[in-house]
Amino acid sequence: MPAEETPAAPDTYEGGLRRVARVVLLDPDDRILLLHGHEPDDPADDWWFTPGGGVEGDETRAEAARRELREETGITDVELGPVLWRRRCSFPFAGRRWDQDEWYYLARTARAAAGAVGPGLTELERRSVAGARWWTCEELTRAHETVYPTRLAELLRTLLDEGPPAGPVTLDTEIV
């Protein structure tokens, strides 16, 4: 079945603390891939975020990170590294509140092409993800757009300067 005919995965989040795996994907030039999202009914209410999503069934967070990256970007040629950061967050989206426990995995790809939104988006994601873009650390530092996590430019600079932390760093809880 061609990608454009692939049925959208259902949106299964029903509240509670959602276990999430996110990917800090870097290309050979140390640019980070971010997705451009917005409220489904209000494209002006927008932000940038790392690929990733909820853990499904009995998959591990690492398995969820790889699956989400494939579904959201089509990128499969990655080296999945350690968990860099952990954070709890709570935010309104699509008419409800989402409470998440997020783990951010480092990943590298040899792909340097512009990111494209992948074919495996859920119906909700299809209505709320506008595209993808590779960002340099300097571009993130100067950005006036909303980016999540909010300290991503600082976190990326530390990662590029010092390498991955010895163990996951717990970020401040973000409540929007």
- Number of separate helices (H) and strands (E) present in the chain: 4, 10
Residue 53 CB neighbours (<10 A): 24
Residue 9 confidence (pLDDT): 41
Residue 98 confidence (pLDDT): 86
User: For residues 100, 101, 102 and 103, what is the CA-based torsion angle, rounded to 10 degrees?
Assistant: -170
Mean pLDDT of successive 10-residue stretches along the chain, which has 176 residues = 39 72 96 89 84 94 94 88 96 87 95 65 71 93 93 97 96 91
Widest CA span in the chain: 45
Residue 6 confidence (pLDDT): 38
Residue 7 confidence (pLDDT): 39
CA-CA distance, 125 to 117, in Å (whole number)?
A: 10
DSSP state of 110: S
**pTM for the structure as a whole:** 0.85
Residue 64 confidence (pLDDT): 96
